């Protein structure tokens, strides 16, 4: 969404060693937010493996490895975790970012599509948490970061399935924090608002009044702009690091203040 927000180049950030020596898995790492998180973790010193159905050949780069992963398939999840631990000798951080979204009114919702979204958006994070948990506290306090949404407690039209899964992610985050806290694993969620992803950009760019849409979207946010992938990534890095060592079971909203300001008719703004 050109002109709406400027994405900082993660490779030009100051040197950071907060996550030096740690190993992280990021699901859905081929997507915009997942890629930004992966780059942010690498910039902080972590070794990062992204798991995605779309595997990118990263030979010749020093960023991160890509592995095939179907988060809805427990065998695929187990194989990824065991392979990472076998190759790197540890696992410290997981980021449950993989997800899908479609728009269907609840009255028209097909069971097969509902089940698919549930499997990817909610069951997938549970499966990775289940198989990663035994490894996460072997070298200190492990960190699980789930990517929820502001739609976890509010909803746009046609998003019944999406909102239900994101509300589930927020609940799973709290339950995981309670269950795994005693074994030195923290679990938190990030709830992004409108982020300038290619999906959102294409939706806006194809609108006949694109410039008006960009302006109106910016007005929704007290901070004056929509979010970028790096806005989410910076919070993920903090949650993965020892700087957030006493933070667990929290859902951190990253939305530029959009949800804290009650809506008003445009004529009154």
Q: What is the pLDDT of residues 170-201, one digit of tens each?
A: 999 999 999 999 999 999 999 999 888 776 77
Model confidence band, residue 12 (pLDDT cutoffs 50, 70, 90): low
C-alpha distances in Å from residue 124, one per residue of 72, 88, 206 = 5, 23, 32
Domain segments of the chain: what residues? 15-195+228-256
Structure-block tokens of residue 212: 């008006």
The catalytically annotated residue of 162, 185, 227, 254 is 162
> Regarding predicted confidence, which is higher, 100 or 207?
100
**pLDDT for 158 beyond 80:** yes
Burial class (CB in 10 A: 0-12, 13-18, 19+), 108: exposed
> How confident is the model over 32-61, as a mean pLDDT?
86
Other Cβ atoms less than 10 A from the Cβ of 133: the count is 20
15-195+228-256, CATH topology level: Rossmann fold (3.40.50)
pLDDT in tens, 131-148: 999 999 999 999 999 999
pLDDT score for 264: 77
Q: 162 catalytic, yes or no? A: yes
111-134: pLDDT as tens digits: 999 999 999 999 999 999 999 999
Closest among 60, 59, 58, 80 to 68, alpha carbons compared: 80
């Amino acid at each position: 969404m050109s002109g709406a927000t400027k994405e900082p180049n993660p490779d030009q950030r100051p040197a950071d060693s907060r996550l030096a020596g740690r190993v992280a898995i990021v699901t859905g790492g081929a997507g915009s937010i997942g890629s930004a998180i992966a780059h942010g973790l690498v910039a902080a010193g972590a070794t990062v493996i992204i798991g995605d159905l779309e595997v990118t050949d990263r030979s010749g780069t020093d960023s991160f490895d890509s592995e095939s992963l179907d988060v809805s398939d427990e065998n695929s999840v187990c194989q990824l975790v065991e392979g990472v631990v076998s190759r790197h000798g540890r696992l410290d951080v997981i980021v449950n970012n993989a997800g899908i979204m479609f728009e269907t009114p609840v009255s028209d919702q097909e069971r097969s599509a509902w089940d698919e979204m549930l499997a990817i958006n909610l069951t997938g994070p549970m499966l990775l948490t289940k198989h990663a948990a035994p490894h996460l506290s072997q070298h200190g306090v492990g960190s699980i970061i789930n990517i929820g949404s502001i739609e976890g407690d509010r909803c746009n039209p046609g998003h019944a399935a999406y909102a239900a899964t994101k509300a589930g992610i927020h609940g799973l985050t709290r339950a995981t924090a309670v269950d795994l806290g005693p074994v030195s694993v923290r679990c938190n969620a990030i709830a992004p608002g409108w982020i300038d992803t290619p999906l959102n950009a294409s939706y806006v760019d194809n609108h006949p009044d694109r410039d008006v849409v960009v302006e109106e979207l910016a007005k929704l946010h007290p901070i004056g702009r929509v979010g970028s992938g790096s806005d989410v990534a910076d919070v993920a890095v903090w949650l993965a690091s020892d700087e957030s060592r006493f933070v667990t079971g929290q859902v951190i909203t990253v939305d530029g203040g959009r949800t804290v300001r009650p809506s008003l008719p445009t004529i009154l703004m």
